[in-house]
């Protein structure tokens, strides 16, 4: 993001965002594919030798997916809907890792019919279900056990997943029962991997390191019983800086994360997999919205725009901070809340925020919204979904 002659320009190609609102009808997510490419290349270099499966939930836009597929990514999916989107966007079944705690019988059957690369299993009951379905179909399901190491990371509690009071993964004490189930269904289940995902927006890695060490031991002991075990999926979760863009800090964190991962896992001599979402796409997206009213009360100035928690729920749900920038700078600052049209007081982007003075008809950019933006959007209040364009 950069102002050139007071106009906001976006991405490595320095696109003037004002040029995209000439025929504005409703809020628009803009994704810069060249930015996604450079992020993917940077991560692929840092994690050389690791296959990256993009977490589709972060941004299922077909052009974004096609772009990542063309760079060599696989897809990490959590529903039949995401499987279909990945296939439509050019991924092959063998590019797909299927995670998620609630897979239905129908979803498992379809995934097995298609022949996805790997199913990451989240409970003993699910393992049993997959074993039974695959047996009936005369198939062999390739499964990885998502283990929950009971380790905490510093993040918002809603996006932490690696503690024993989270619904995700299976406690290490379950391994004997899981092994028994794998043996019972030896004809229809093949153990191919161990998987882990501790949570999202991770900026510090002591918990991650502890978890890798624990799971490495589990991998080694399972390998003795199951020689087919050959993959270690260390999940996603690497965080980005939202408050103020700091790509240098993110590069240092990436290097640290990659160093820890390779340092602990490389002597397993197995296939390494990762499921990054946010890190690849967050900065590559911006949400453009138009000011409808500037409303002054005795307490506050509200800048009311035509997008809100219905299009980007992160500020309301996780108190996430996205910078808001005017497409054209006025040069005079004011303090305001930028809020949406939705009938909820939690419908805000920022509060008590220092923003250039704006007026009805002006446009604002909600930055760093390429991850978990459109994918979490709803039609609440029967507002239309935003548009999406790729540049
Ligand atoms: N793998 C699994 C199994 C996951 O559950 C997730 C994210 C990822 C990979 C990708 O994580 P990432 O690299 O994007 O952190 N809506 C929240 C984030 C929810 C993350 C859910 N799982 C947000 O807007 O912050």
CA 263 → CA 101, 150, 212, 269, distances in Å?
30, 21, 10, 12
Spatial distance between the Cα atoms of 272 and 341, rounded to a whole number of angstroms: 45
**Ligand 1 atom with the shortest distance to the CA of 195:** 3
| Rg, the chain, Cα only | 22
- Which residues, given as ranges, of the chain have pLDDT below 50? none
| CA-proximal residue: ligand 1, atom 19 (nearest) | 159
40-64 residue pLDDT tens? 999 999 999 999 999 999 999 999 9
Residue 351 has φ and ψ, to the nearest 5°, of -125, 145
Find the 10 Cα to ligand 1 centroid distance in Å. 25
Q: Where are the beta strands (DSSP E) in the chain?
A: 2-4, 7-10, 15-16, 28-31, 50-55, 74-77, 96-98, 118-121, 141-148, 170-171, 189-195, 231-233, 271-274, 285-296, 301-305, 324-326, 333-339, 348-356, 363-366, 387-390
Which ligand 1 atom is the nearest neighbour of the CA of 156? 25
At residue 199, the pLDDT reads 87
Q: Is the shortest distance between the CB of 120 and ligand 1 below 6 Å?
A: no
Whether the CB-CB separation of 240 and 368 falls below 8 Å is answered with: yes
The alpha carbon of 77 and the centre of ligand 1 are apart by a number of angstroms equal to 11
28 lines ligand 1 (CB under 6 A): no
Q: How far is CA 279 from CA 47, 59, 235, 272, 361, in A?
A: 13, 11, 12, 18, 33
Task: At 47, list the tokens.
Answer: 């994690």
Task: Encode pLDDT of 227-275 as tens digits.
Answer: 999 999 999 999 999 988 899 999 999 999 999 999 999 999 999 999 9
How many Cβ atoms are within 10 Å of 258's Cβ, its own excluded? 18
State the closest ligand 1 atom to the C-alpha of 58, by its place in the atom list counted from 1: 14
The Cα–Cα gap between 174 and 170 comes to: 7
For the chain, domains (ranges, CATH) are: 2-30+283-390 (2.40.37.10), 100-274 (3.20.20.10)
Pick the residue whose CA is nearest to atom 23 on ligand 1: 372
Residue 76, ligand 1, Cβ within 6 A: yes
Task: Please list the active-site residues.
Answer: 343
Cα–Cα nearest to 130, from 105, 96, 95, 93: 105
> Quick check: CB of 317 below 6 Å from ligand 1?
no
Contacts of 219 (CB under 8 A, 6+ apart): 194, 229, 232, 268, 270
Pocket test for ligand 1, best of 55, 102, 253 (most atoms within 8 A of CB): 55
Closest atom of ligand 1 relative to the 376 alpha carbon: 16
């Amino acid at each position: 993001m950069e102002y050139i002659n007071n106009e906001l320009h976006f991405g490595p190609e320095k696109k003037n965002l004002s040029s995209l609102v000439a025929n504005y009808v409703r809020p628009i997510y803009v994704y810069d594919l060249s930015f996604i490419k450079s992020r993917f290349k940077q991560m692929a270099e840092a994690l050389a030798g690791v296959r990256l499966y993009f977490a589709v939930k972060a941004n299922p836009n077909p052009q974004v997916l096609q772009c990542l597929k063309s760079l060599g990514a696989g897809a990490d999916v959590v529903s039949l809907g995401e499987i279909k989107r990945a296939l439509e966007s050019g991924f092959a079944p063998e590019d797909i890792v299927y995670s998620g705690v609630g897979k239905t019988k129908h979803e498992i059957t379809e995934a097995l019919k298609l022949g996805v690369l790997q199913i990451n299993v989240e409970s003993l009951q699910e393992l049993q279900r997959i074993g039974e379905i695959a047996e009936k179909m005369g198939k062999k399901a390739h499964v990885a056990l998502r283990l929950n190491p009971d380790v905490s990371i510093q993040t918002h509690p809603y996006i932490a997943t690696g503690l024993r009071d989270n619904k995700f993964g299976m406690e290490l004490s379950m391994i004997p029962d899981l092994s028994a189930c794998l043996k019972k269904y030896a004809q229809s289940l093949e153990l191919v991997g161990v998987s882990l995902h501790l949570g999202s927006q991770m900026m510090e890695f002591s918990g991650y390191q502890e978890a890798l060490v624990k799971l490495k031991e589990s991998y080694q002991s399972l390998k003795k019983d199951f020689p087919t075990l050959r993959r270690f999926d260390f999940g996603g979760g690497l965080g980005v800086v939202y408050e103020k863009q700091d790509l240098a800090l993110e590069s240092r964190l990436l290097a640290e994360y990659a160093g820890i991962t390779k340092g602990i896992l490389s002597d397993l001599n197995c296939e390494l997999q990762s499921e990054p979402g946010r890190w690849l796409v967050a900065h590559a997206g911006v949400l453009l919205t138009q000011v409808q009213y500037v409303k002054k009360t005795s307490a506050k100035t509200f800048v009311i725009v035509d997008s809100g928690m219905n299009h980007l729920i992160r500020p309301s749900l996780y108190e996430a901070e996205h910078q808001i920038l005017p497409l054209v700078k006025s040069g005079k600052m004011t303090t305001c809340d930028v809020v949406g049209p939705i009938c909820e007081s939690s419908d805000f982007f920022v509060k008590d925020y220092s923003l250039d003075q704006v007026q009805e008809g002006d446009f604002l950019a909600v930055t760093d919204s390429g991850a978990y933006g459109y994918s979490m959007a709803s039609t609440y209040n029967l507002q239309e979904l935003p548009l999406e364009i790729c540049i």
